[in-house]
Amino acid sequence: MDQQTVNTVRAGGGDVIPSFGGWSGNKLESSCGSAGELAAAYQKVINAYGLKAIDIDIEAAAYDSPTVQQRTVDALKTIRANNPGIKIYITFGTGQNGPDTSLINRAASSGLTVDSWTIMPFNFGGNGQNMGTLSVRAAEGLKTAVKNAYGYGDDEAYRKTGISSMNGVTDVGETITVADFRTILAYAQQRHLARLTFWSVNRDRPCTGGGADTCSGVSQSAWDFTRVLAQYRG
């Protein structure tokens, strides 16, 4: 992260939440040889930027490895113990009816509480379908998984979940519209989700020829998607 950018965001009344991991590249969760080493790597970044929250985006081979899952859970338990009040978010993929539950169950059985289990409801075969409706369906599956793993009631389970969507044309050709974002916003407001975000602000502008890293690939005005989710207050 760029310290000057962080300072600018904070001066404007906001804050930053760095995301560790992702779909591709070298990931700390896989590269570190132990939970202690991984926790130390997280802590170094927390200390450098005075962070109040971190997001662990665990996907692909990292998610599929029970060893990496457990290493991540154990490292986050250390972070939780050593940083009172820090928010811990875990972001991961999902199917249309909800996510795989292995990491949620592993965390619960290991005694790790997470402030938001956040799904990414896209790249899951939604081509030609209403992605707002599918996102809500997946989020309901997430709520059930979190409820069952931790023994929460419905309201508490909703408040421990979140949605990280994608604006415009996805990697597999699904189309998420501004109207879909309004559907997702209404659901989040009704259920008081812990987190509502999207990938990504730098795509929140129109272009032709499909989505890319710098545009959405759909008809829109600049910042249309951001304006919708910016209405969320929890």
In the prediction, which pLDDT does 2 show? Answer: 87
Rounded to the nearest 10°, the torsion over CA 165, 100, 161, 22 is -50
Nearest to 200 by CA among 142, 135, 130, 122: 122
What is the DSSP annotation of 125-153?
A: S-TTS-HHHHHHHHHHHHHHHHHHHHT--
Helices 178-191 and 131-150, packing angle to 10 deg: 30
Angle between helices 66-82 and 102-110 (to 10 degrees): 40
Angle made by CA atoms 76, 57, 229, in degrees to the nearest 5: 115
- The predicted pLDDT at position 213 comes to 85
Whether 180 contacts 131, CB under 8 Å: yes
Residue 35 in tokens? 């939970």
User: Which parts of the chain sit beneath pLDDT 70?
Assistant: 208-211
Rounded CA gap, 30 and 178, in Å? 36
Q: Are strands 168-169 and 175-176 parallel, antiparallel or unpaired?
A: antiparallel
The CATH architecture that domain 3-201 belongs to is: Alpha-Beta Barrel (3.20)
Residue 75's pLDDT is 98
Active-site amino acid positions: 59
Q: What is the pLDDT of residue 212?
A: 75
